[in-house]
Every structure is written in structure tokens, then in C-alpha cells.
Amino acid sequence: MSNQNDPLFQPCNLGKLTLPNRVLMSPLTRSRSSQPGDIPNDMNVRYYQQRASAGLILSEATQVSPQGKGYAFTPGIHSPDQVAGWKKVTGAVHIAGGRIHMQLWHVGRISHPELQPNGDKPVAPSAIKPEGAKTFISADSGMVDIPEPRALETAEMADIVEQYRQGALNAKQAGFDGVEVHAANGYLLDQFIKSGSNQRTDEYGGSVENRLRLPLMVIEAVIAVWGKDRVGVRVSPTGSFNAMDDNNPIETFGTFARHLNDLGIGYLEVVEDSFQGNHANGRPEDVIDAIRAGFKGTYIANGAYTADEARQRIREGRCDLVTFGRPFIANPDLPERFRQNAPLNEWDDSTFYGGDEHGYTDYPTLKELEKSA
Ligand code: PHB
């Protein structure tokens, strides 16, 4: 196929940005920030700069506050040193011709007292332990169980919104092109949205509208900082990762999609599988239909797509853009490889989380492979 007709290489307007291709980099936790302080460093700068040919980079999930942290070594966006570290990342990506959004993160119950200020219990909509979910609290802790969280008081909701607002403001200071609100994968906002983790009896639980209340308040606060065009939202309607379950994803996420449409956000990114490529029984087309019926803006698909599957979905009008995760870990020049239909480097999952440059910034580009051949 000539590149001229390749759906992956048709430019796309995303709010005020023009993306040169539709091969986007997923938000990917890599757990390599500098300690103490969860600060982005020069190794992180190299990693993101190497991947600047993505249509858009979504940063790894980044905690908006100390309370929002759930794993050792993940970066934050709540201290001046973190803002300075991220500024180097965004500067390097821009110099390389790229664009980058920050993914704003609060983990809610997916944390551990060892990672929380004052050794506090992690917070959640309800005091429900995520059965089977794990985290790691230090380089040599291994994976540890997550204890029962503490249910947030109604009066604490304003502070949660404020954490995101401040994070959004800090991301702006750090030179990002926009932000993505992480409402997926079993973290705080997803815990509010889904019925299985939210058994509140106040105005933040119960009905779908009530469960969506806090996420929508957060998104409105972030829009007030950035403008609607530069705000995206990520959801995982059928995701089971982190012990998640919703009793009616079509209704829940169809309703959320309508609200997000009314807010006019720049894009909606949907994890279209259970987690990490588990869509053996097909994608949740009925849920996707409900979301597409409610949300008329830019739709980004995610979920272990191959290049050809992505091309087909774009051609069929099922999505506008696609985010790629693990292929982007192993192939810094992923768009060029897709353009040429070139073979891909394989990823090494033993180096996904934590560690040094190995398995992080040492995956070769096609050009580097040719030189060393
Ligand atoms: C993880 O660290 O395993 C992780 C983080 C954020 C996600 C999903 C997984 O959205």
C-alpha cells in the first residue's frame, strides 16, 4: 500500500494540535523516576525524546499528589523539582518535533500505607479491598497485597478535585501540550465510576449520575485550567485489572460519553479490552457503540492493536487514532516501522517496571540496526 493512502499516516487535528500520524504512544508506567522525590530525570528525557515521532505521546501515569501514588518510583507532578524534571522532558520532545500530553493520575485504593503520607491507609470511594490486586513498594519488595482502603468523607471531594486542578496547572508550567485525565484501569476515578468499587450512599455513589459526579467535577476543573480542546479522558469500560467490575458498562459508559460530549473535551481514549491485550473473545463492540453514540469528538482506540488492525478500524470509522503501548516500548521509531511494514523489535517484559537504561532507552531504531548490520 502506498503511504499516501495509509490511514495511519493521514494527519489528524486534535484540538489545536495537528498530529502528523495516527500512531500514538500509550501512557506506560515504567517506574524509573529519581529518588527521593519521584522526579523525572535525564534517562526519562532520552526515553521520551527517542519516541517523539509518535503522532502524540501520552506520558506515563503521573501522580497529582503524594496521596495519589500507588507504586514505587512512579513520577509525580506536585513538587517544583518534578515540574523542572518534566520541563526537560517536554523541551526535548518538542525539539525533536513531537507533542506530549501528561496523564494525570490518582491511584485511589491501589496503593499501600508504605507509599502514603504518614503511613495512612489509601483512599477510595468505599472501604472495599481490591481482591488479588498487587503493587510494589520498593525495589526489592516484590509484589505485595493491597490492604483495605479508607472510604473518603463527602467533605474530602473538594480536596480531590483540587489535587487534580493543581496537577493540571503544574503540567502546564512543565510545558506539556495538554493533559489526559486517567479514569481507567481501576484507579481512583474508575473506582468511583464502576458499581463494584463504589457503594457510597451520598451523592457520589448509587446511580450512574452519582458515580460519575466526582470524575466530571475533576474533568471540569482540569478544563478550567487547560481549555476543553487540550483535555482528553481515558476509560476502560470492560477492564477487570485491579479487581474492577461494573454491572452495566453500556449504560455507565454511554452516559459518561454523553457528559464528556457536552463538556467538549478534545478526545476520549478507550481501552477496548480487558487488560494488556486480552480480547480473545473480540472487542466489546456493544460498549464501543454506546460510547460512539454519545461522544462525537475524537475517539482514540487502545488495546493490543496491530498496525493492520488499526488501519482497518480507522478505515471503517470505528476510531480516529490508535495508541500503542508495548510495541512503543520496544520500538522507539514505531511509526517509521509501520510506514515501511518493517519487522518490530520484541519487548522484554522483565524490564517494563523499574531498573536502568536497559530495556528502556537501548532498543535500536531501524537506522541503528542497519548501521550495525
Ligand atoms: C501499572 O503500573 O501496572 C499500571 C499503571 C497504570 C495503568 C495500568 C497499569 O493505567
CATH number at residue 11: 3.20.20.70
What predicted TM-score, i.e. pTM, was given to this entire model? Answer: 0.98
Q: Is 244 a domain residue?
A: yes
Q: Is 356 a domain residue?
A: no
Higher pLDDT: 79 or 140? It is 79
Give the model's pLDDT for residue 276.
Answer: 67
Query: Is the C-beta atom of 183 inside 6 A of ligand 1?
Result: no
CA of 295 to the centre of ligand 1 (A): 25
Structural domain harbouring 269: 7-322
Tens-digit pLDDT profile for residues 212-221? 999 999 999 9
Q: Give how many domains the chain has, as a whole number.
A: 1
Asked whether residue 179 carries a pLDDT value surpassing 60, the answer given is: yes
Q: How confident is the model at residue 281 (pLDDT cuts 50, 70, 90)?
A: confident
CA of 61, closest atom in ligand 1: 6
Counting residues of the chain whose pLDDT is more than 90, the rounded percentage is 95
Q: Is 333 a domain residue?
A: no
Q: What is the C-alpha separation between 262 and 264, in angstroms, rounded?
A: 5
Query: Is the C-beta atom of 242 inside 6 A of ligand 1?
Result: no
If you average pLDDT over residues 176-183, what whole number do you get?
98
Asked whether residue 16 carries a pLDDT value surpassing 90, the answer given is: no
Active site residue 204: no
Q: How confident is the model at residue 319 (pLDDT cuts 50, 70, 90)?
A: very high
Ligand 1 site-directed mutation target among 60, 110, 241, most atoms within 8 Å of CB: 241
Query: Is the C-beta atom of 185 inside 6 A of ligand 1?
Result: yes
If you average pLDDT over residues 50-61, what whole number do you get?
99
Active-site choice (187, 204, 267, 363): 187
CA of 353, closest atom in ligand 1: 2
Query: Is the C-beta atom of 71 inside 6 A of ligand 1?
Result: yes
Query: Is the C-beta atom of 29 inside 6 A of ligand 1?
Result: yes
Asked whether residue 3 carries a pLDDT value surpassing 90, the answer given is: no
Q: Is 143 a domain residue?
A: yes
CB count in 10 Å sphere of residue 287: 23
Q: Is 366 a domain residue?
A: no
CA of 74, closest atom in ligand 1: 2
Q: Is 22 a domain residue?
A: yes
- Give which of 81, 80, 76, 30 is closest to 51, Cα–Cα: 30
Q: Whose CA is nearest to atom 5 of ligand 1?
A: 29
Q: Is 349 a domain residue?
A: no
Ligand 1 site-directed mutation target among 25, 29, 115, 274, most atoms within 8 Å of CB: 29
Q: Is 340 a domain residue?
A: no
Tens-digit pLDDT profile for residues 195-215? 999 999 999 999 999 999 999
